[in-house]
A = this chain, B = another copy of it.
Amino acid sequence: MSSLSTDSPTAILLISCPDKPGIVAAISSFLFENRGNIVDINQHVDQEEGAFFMRVEWEIEGFALKREDLVSSLMPLVDRFSMKWELHFSDIVPRAALFVTRDNHCFYDLLSRHESGELGMEIPLILSNRDDLRSVAERFGIPFHVFPINQGNKEAQEKAEIALLRENGIDLVILARYMQILSPLMTTAFPNRIINIHHSFLPAFPGARPYHSAHRRGVKLVGATSHYVTEELDEGPIIVQGVTPVSHSDAVQDFVRKGRALEQSVLSRAVWLHLNRRILAYANRTIVFG
């Protein structure tokens, strides 16, 4: 979970491939031979599936290869181990769009963390299906776009939304209590790039009004789950989960109130992990090198 204590930029390589001997040796030797100073390395083997996963982060300063040559230099390794890979540089700041509707607690929380520099991202725009939270966006000086959704226009509106997101070079969509179900149009446009917060301990209480369902069932803990959004509602890979105690004396609105701090915590943590390239999604699960 460690942050770099230096400001020197790093490269981060995420890989997954069939497990076989020699992968760690090959990667670490490649970096050593090119004078890459590793600051963090994590791996995981899924023994059931025979799959290997790795995240390695090294300093760019002093590294022998230029950024523009790095990919081609990696190709022999990629081919040898049939790797899927992603390469990131810590000084290229991700651009995130926040989707909101009416509840402001996750929205304010992300904005305040952003303002205090905890989350290394830019927020070029806020998007909503309603006008309610415009004034919050304005206070922070961030453009606020409203795309009202009704029964007939979702596809057209999502096309326009996607165009707007692409224009603004958006890498990450954060659903900060956005109260619309995304269509496959949107979910396939940003695979493993849309993070949602659902206010239950999934897979319990998917769908609408989970606090009401939880209250009716008489649970003793309420939960929150952040996950990547896929075509299946509330079925995507889980990133972070949390719970908080409730009792018989809590009405539904108390569940709502107690859930707020939990949702903030669970969502902001997932966003931080994503921005720091600490998540690999795989087989509808996540590997989190936290």
- Listed in ascending order, the chain A residues whose CB lies under 8 Å from chain B are 1-6, 21-22, 24-26, 28-29, 31-33, 35-45, 47-48, 103-105, 107-109, 111-113, 115-116, 118, 139-140, 201-205, 217-221, 223, 237-243, 245-251, 253-254, 257-258, 260-262, 264-265, 268-269, 272, 284-288, 290
Contacts and interface: CB of A to CB of B under 8 A. Distances in A.
Contacts of A272: 257
Contacts of A290: 247
Contacts of A140: 139
A9 to B, nearest CB: 16
Contacts of A285: 217-218, 248
A74 to B, nearest CB: 16
Contact of A261 (B35, B42, B104, B269): B269
B21 A35 contact: yes
Copies held by the complex: 4
B3 A253 contact: yes
A219 B248 contact: no
B250 A1 contact: yes
Contacts of A28: 24-25, 28-29
Contact of A108 (B108, B220, B253): B108
Contact of A248 (B4, B251, B287): B287
A104 B112 CA distance: 7
- Rank and list the top 6 A-B pairs by shortest CB-CB distance, nearest first: A218-B285, A261-B265, A108-B112, A204-B204, A25-B28, A25-B32
Contact of A104 (B22, B116, B240, B287): B116
